Structures are given as structure tokens and as C-alpha cells.
Chain A
Amino acid sequence: MRIIPFLLSVAATIGLVYTLNIQLSVNGGKTPKLGYLLSPQKGFWQNAEPTNTSFDEAMISDNLQGNSEVYLDDRLVPHIYATNEHDAYFIQGYLHAKFRLWQMEFQTNAAGGRLSEIMGDSSNGTNFHNIDKFFRRLGMVYGAENTLKAMEQDSGLKAACDAYTDGVNAYINSLDESSYPFEFKLLDYKPEPWTNLRTALLAKYMAWDLAGFEQDFEMTNARSIFTKEQFEALYPYQADSLDPVNPRGTVFPKRGADIIPPTLADSAYLIFKEAATAFTDIKPDYDNGSNNWAIDSSKSKSKRPILCNDPHLNLNLPSIWYEMQISAPGLNVYGASLPGAPCIVIGFNDSCAWGVTNAERDVRDYYEITFKDSTRQEYMFDSTWYTTTFRQEIIKIKGKPDDTLQIPMTVWGPVMYDTSFPDKLHTGKAYAVKWMAHEESDELKTFYQLNKAKNFEDYKSAINTYKCPGQNFAFATKNGDIALRQQGKFPAKWRRQGDFVMPGSDSTFAWRGYVPDSLNFTMHNPARGFVSSANQYPYDTSYPYYLGGKYPLYRGILINRLLTNMHDATVDSMQQMQNNNYNLFAEMARPVLLRFMYDNTLSGDEQKYLDTFKAWNLRNDAASEATTIFNLWWDSLKVIVYGDELGQSQLPLVMPQKSTLLESMIKDSVKLFADDINTTEKETIADDVNAAFKKIIPEVKLMDEEDRLAWGKFKNSGVLHLLKIPSLSRLNLFAGGGEDIINAYKQYNGPSWKMIVELTDDINAYAIYPGGQSGNPGSKYYDAFIDDYIAGRYYKLLFTDKATLQKQTTLKGKITFSKSRQTT
């Protein structure tokens, strides 16, 4: 033996293996374990799914009760034919895990404040530890625990959740190092057992996405800059052009004593031009929203109702939705499911169809807490010192010691900000958060029941316990009913309650109970022949309660206009409508802008681009250059009009909505903020409009020269992987649509599932989503639908029985589920 060379060589080997078996820090991020990742037998190569792979499989589990079959159609959509309901949910869990396990884990880890466990405390400039603290202190886990209690009180739903969880775990238990989903290998961690709590966390994730948007701190700041008159002019309650979900003219009962503002509100709360404030910097997308509508037999060619729904969310890969059919005795449902939860969320069964849009209402408020001292053991409430309880939550951090949070709990809810988790602006104050999503509630039960609904009564009873996030549930049946109901538990608020941070030591600022259920509208077979919602205000100002929140305007107006004029509608008319790129806002804004333009002062280039704008067909099509000009012009105008007012504060403020500016321009009202308060001249709105236009021309000209002016190029749409890794995303998609357009496709946010269901005897349904059924980036099914989605195409949904499906020649696989081997 040659000792020294041997030792050196062994040391080199071990050193090499060691280095390849750890994550290295590079440029503020961590590398994968390269040796593992690149290993042909264990690493990512095992996720490189053969393109002609067959998904045939025989799954055996003691947790099953009978023998069931699943057929995967040509798009890899599973059709479950289970012999009993328990097995149906077990199989749904198994399939979700088989095709989307990493996504399910990652999203619920994000909701539960557990990202630093996976990502480390920070990576590539993202502070995951802080994000985790944010979600923990917001009470996501607290809310999920309450939701779990409600879920498990209902025996039918508990059984479904347990079966679902068993199915997920059956799949997880079948995995080894080589078969982990790709992202686990990339980030170097392992799947852990699924629990019903994770399903509850997913519900909170949706609540966060859809009822988590608020601007309380920015508005509190605005109140300190503006007078009451200015504030009302910049941030008005409802717009003139509003076409509410519930048509105007409804008579409501008079306001009750419950919504009279506290006596102190004027002096202590509705104070303008005072007070410092805090700021939250993590928000769901402002444009999360949706469209849904249903027409009745009087408007359709087939004389049957047609229901449409397209929920607008962040467009991600793996896609938020997973398409499937679930059938078992007493259950036969098809639609979009959420990986991580049992049931179909948006879809149809053999009797009816339903779809949802967000109610948008403000159900999250902040209360300033006065602690007795820095120990935070006691806080002031109605002139008494109350004892704080503490919720202990542990954040595990990859490669670092745990961080144990002591979250103070008050009568309002968890204290989100205090000195141990300062708000971004370090006001040094403490703020508790009160949020509807904290309450014990059982949203999943609604979908569980809707999946089996047969008629309007079933629909009403399915949704009547639904609390948060508030939704507009559209509904249609084969026997001709259409309906729309806004459902949710909403606080009964006095005007402006919760728009600003409230004093937490005074019980009169509390929510005074809830809006009575009877005042959530239900429209059932209205005379106009259709129901629709597009996140606009549900009511006009005759509604006795304050709604809060933020509401887009123009999609709703256009949808109602199109549906009013529609007759002999078909699935094709509905496809065209969901893909409609008409810009109603521009229709209203263009004549106003042109009215203010001084035509004779324009240079050659300016005239040329103004002519482009004048000749615009008002459609946000991908190739449209005028759309880009209009959007730049309007943004430039907003900055010129409001920039000086908003510039009075270094702290964040809210840019007024586009409808606010447009309506004040139409009325030429005194509410215009045309004059630049920083100059001695007195600017008019015409000056602003011309200046805003001239300002954008150099940029427009440059983009024109570089062939980047088309709206589809300027908007630069994409579908982002959840980790935002470019090569796992689909980027640079040339697509039309945009904000306020029925086809609400912005850059990374838009229709996440487009569904059309015609309720004929054999249901005639179409849908598409921007993703693919497989969550594996190494599968050809990963992003398979995106090109068709961009082209505005749909797939006919195969909602059928086992015998018909077995005959399909393009099946991608058959999975059998059985209790024991003998019976396969």
C-alpha cells in the first residue's frame, strides 16, 4: 500500500463527493446538491418523463374500500369511477399528489409561514424569514386551526378530508429519493406527510389571495395629507357610471343603529391631516378578480341556460387548477379542483353548473393597541388593562437556529405589528389585525355540497354557510334556473369604518355584528334573462351598509351591455365574449382626452401617434399599437394630475382609481387636481392632457423603431413558475387583453380557468387554463395548454360514463385502485 498517495486520493474522492452532496452559497442563493441533482439514477434525470409514457398503474391500499378505476384522457385529465364516495376522495388526493405534490406542499408551506424551512432565511434578495413572520403574525395558522375545527365537526366532510389526506399520503409513501418531484431535488428537501391542517391552510391561502387586499395604512396616511373634501374627491365611494351586480332600484330596509359611527369617530377617527402611520408591503395582486355570468333559455339558441366563469388570479406553473371528473354513487362532477383540497371548486355535475367571482369586500381591519409596558403583558381596552395571551409559533430556518415567535393575542385578534415585528416605517406602535378569515368557518363544505347539488334549493343550502372570502356564486340548472347570490359573512360597517387604522382601546370601534343574510342579494331567474358579476360594487349607495374594499367598474358594464343585447347565444358566442378585448374604459376616455388636445401644437411624430390613437378600434388586441399609446398616456396623465398631491408624503399613498380621474374629467368638476401645487402657474386639465401626451412620445417612438410598440410585446405576458425560475416558466407570450378588459390577461395575472357550460341534456362544456395537468417541468403535459390558451381556443370537456371513456382510443393511462392484490 502506498500510504500517502492513497490518503491523498481518498481525501480527494471524499472531498469531491462531499462538495457535490451539499448546497453551496453562490450569489446570495444556494446551489442544488449537484451530485444528487445530476445523478442519472437518482437526480433530475428521473423526472425527465418519456414523452410517450403510459400512466398505467395498479394502486393497492388498505385504506381503500372497493375497486375503482381512473382513465386519463388525451389531455391527461383523470376521470375517476369510484365504487363509493370515500374512495373517490382518496383517489382525488392520490392524483393531486401524483401530479402536483410539490405545488401542494409549497403553497401550504407559504400559507403557514414555513418557507424559510425550505429556502433558508433569504435567497436571491428575497427575505423568506420576514415573509414567514408576516404570514404567522397575520394569523394564517391561527385561522387554519379554527377552520380545521369547523371542518372536522361535519362528519361527511371530515370523512372526505380524511380519505383525501390518506390518498395524498399513499402517494407520498410510494416515493423514494429518485421519484421525488423535481423541485424537491432542486431545493433539497423531502415531502412530508399530508394533514387536514394543510388542507385548511390551503383554504386560508385562498382567503389571503381573495380577501387579503387592503390599503388601511396607506389610507391612514392619506388622511393625514388631505382635507376631508380632497380625500372624498380622490377616493370616492362608488362611481357614477357604476352598473352594480344587483341592478339599481332595489329597495333596502333603513340603516339600523348598528351602523351609526361611534361618537368619537369625528374627533378621534375621521381626523384628516394628522397622524403618522405604518405600512404593509406584502399584498395579493390588486387585480385578483373574476367574471361569471349565466344566461337563461330566452337568450340561448338551444333554449337551455349557459353558465360561464373565468377566475382571474396570478397565472402560475404548476397551474393553480387541476381539471378532473369525479364520479361515485350519488356524485358525478367535473371541473377545476385545487390541488391540496378535496372536491371540485368550479364546475358542473349532471344537473347544474356553478362559478364564482370575488365579492371584494373589506373584511380585514387594524386596531392600534396600547400596551402597558414593553413586556406586552397587558393592553388597554375600554379603560381597563386586559391580560394579553401569547401564541407561540416556531419558524424553522434551513441551516440556522429556530426563531420562536410570541404573538400577542387581543380581543381583536393577533398583534401583527409591534416592536418585535416592526411595521416597515417603524412607527413603534402596535397594531392588532381583525380578519374574517380568522373565524371558525367551513368553506369546503359549500363545495362538497355544491358538487352534489341538483337544483336551486340545493344550491342555496350549499352556499348559505359560506363565510370568507365572500363570493358571488353564479348557478344554472338543466331545468332552466339561473341564479346569482353574493355569499359571505360581512361585518356591518358604518361609513368609512375600517378604511383607516382604528383605535384599539375603544370597543365602539368594533364591528357591530354582521350584515344579515337576507341582505346578501339573491337573483333567481331575473326578467332580464341573465345574471352576471365582475367584481364591481354589488349594490349602489342605497345599500344600508358600508362595503369598503376596492371594486373595478368597466368589465361589469361591458358584460351587462353585451348580455342585454344577446340572443340566440351559443357556446361560440360565449367563447368570443370571454376572449373579448374591447376596452370600454377607452371608449369613455378617448373622446374626453381628444376634447382637451391642442391639435395645432403637435410635432410630426406627435401627430402621427395621435392619429394612431384616433384610428384605434378600441380593442386591446396583441398587435394593437394604439393600446400601448393609450395606456402610457393615461398613466402619464395620472402622474401629472396626482403626482404633486401624492408627493406631499414620503410614506405610501394610494393612486386614485382611473374611474375617479375620468369621471371628474367628464364632469369637468372642481374635484380635478389639475393644477400642479408646486408651480406658480395655474395648470388646467387641458395642459395636463397635452403634457402627458407629449411626455410619452419619445418612448413611443423608440419602441416603434425597435418593433416593441404592439400591445402584446409591451405587456409581455407570461406564466410564472412558483419559484419564478425563468426556464420553468413560459415567458414572452404575445397576448391581448388587460386590466378592465373581459379578457383580463395582464402580464402575469388573468383568467386562470375559462369555463363555458351549456346545460343541455348531454352537458356541452368547454374550458381551458394556462398550464397543463402535470406539475412536472419534465413532462410534456406541464404547459401543454398554454399555446391554445393564448390563441383563445377551448377544449371540449369529456363528461361521460365509464363505458364511453373506456372506448377512447387516445387514453394516456388507466389506474386501478383496490384494497388488495387479488381483486385487481
Chain B
Amino acid sequence: MKFFIAILLTALLGHAAPLYFPWWSFAVTSFIVGLFIHQKAGLAFVSGFFGIFLLFTVHTLVLDYMNDHILAAKVAAILKVGTSSITVILLSAFIGGLVSAFAAMSGSFARGKAK
């Protein structure tokens, strides 16, 4: 249960924070979620990762679909990761997820050992 709440909160706060603060501000919110929803470090890492990974995947999928894949396909070529928008969607989500995962794990460590 905690795990899913952590994912949900990570996603919600991770969406809200960068609307007002820098792009990386979701790292701070993921840290806070890791701090308050106390899980074992590994679980915090995984929930932190998926919270943002899923959020970014859904968000970028919608933007990409509305855009008919025009820009993401061009960015894929610029970043030399093929010509499909899907790779850029996964790359965005993975990078976001990774930052969030480490931040959430830091939050967990800040509390000490969870049961």
C-alpha cells in the first residue's frame, strides 16, 4: 500500500513542482515523499523511479500524440537515438525516473532503516 501511495504522491508532486520551479524540482518532492512515506531504501528507489517514469511516460505520450509525433521524431534524430518518438519518450521518462529514484532513496536514508 505504502509503495503505491509513494508512487502516486511522487507523480502528483513531481507534476506540480516543475510548473513553478526548475525542471529538476521534482527531485526535491521525490526526496520529501521518500522522507515521509518511509520505506526500505530499495523500495523507495523503485517507487521513486516509477512515480516519475510513469508520469513522464503518460505526459509525453499525450503531448506526442497531440503533436502527431512531429517534434519528438526530430529530437530523436538530433540526439542520435533513431527516428521514432517512442525512444525519446522512454528516454525522458527514464532520466526523470532515475533522478527521482536517487532522490527518494536519499529521503529514505535520511529517516534511517525502515521495517
Contacts and interface: CB of A to CB of B under 8 A. Distances in A.
A42 B109 contact: no
Nearest to B95: A38
A247 interface: no
B80 to A, nearest CB: 10
Interface stretch (A438-446, A449-457, A777-785): A777-785
Contact of B23 (A9, A42, A778, A780): A42
A101 to B, nearest CB: 17
B75 A44 contact: yes
Nearest to B83: A727
B24 interface: yes
How large, as a class, is the contact surface on chain A? 35 or more
Contacts of A12: 102
B67 A17 contact: no
A90 to B, nearest CB: 30
B103 A40 contact: no
Interface string B54-71: 011001100110111011
A16 B94 CA distance: 12
Nearest to B100: A13
Contacts of B60: 40, 45
Given A21-B24, A40-B63, A780 B109 contact: no
A49 interface: yes
Interface residues of B, number: 44
Contacts of B91: 38
A250 B63 CA distance: 65
Contact of A1 (B55, B68, B75, B110): B110
A304 to B, nearest CB: 42
A10 B59 CA distance: 27
B77 A44 contact: no
Contacts of B23: 21, 35-36, 39, 41-43, 177
A229 B25 CA distance: 75
A718 to B, nearest CB: 15
Nearest to B30: A13
A48 B66 contact: yes
Interface in B66-115: 66-68, 70-78, 83, 88, 91-92, 95-96, 98-99, 102-103, 105-106, 109-113
A38 B66 contact: no
A40 B112 contact: no
A50 interface: yes
A745 interface: no
Contact of A6 (B59, B76, B98, B110): B110
B27 interface: yes
Contact of B15 (A41, A49, A780, A782): A41
Contacts of B59: 40-41, 45
Nearest to A2: B109
Contacts of B64: 45, 48
Interface in A1-57: 1-2, 5-6, 9-10, 12-13, 16-17, 20-21, 34-52
Given A1-B111, A9-B109, A45-B60, 11 more contacts: A6-B109, A9-B41, A35-B23, A37-B75, A40-B63, A45-B63, A45-B64, A48-B63, A51-B66, A727-B73, A780-B68
Interface of A: 1-2, 5-6, 9-10, 12-13, 16-17, 20-21, 34-52, 177, 182, 186, 725-728, 777-780, 782
Q: Which 5 pairs of residues, A with B, have the shortest CB-CB distance?
A: A778-B71, A727-B77, A48-B67, A6-B109, A39-B23
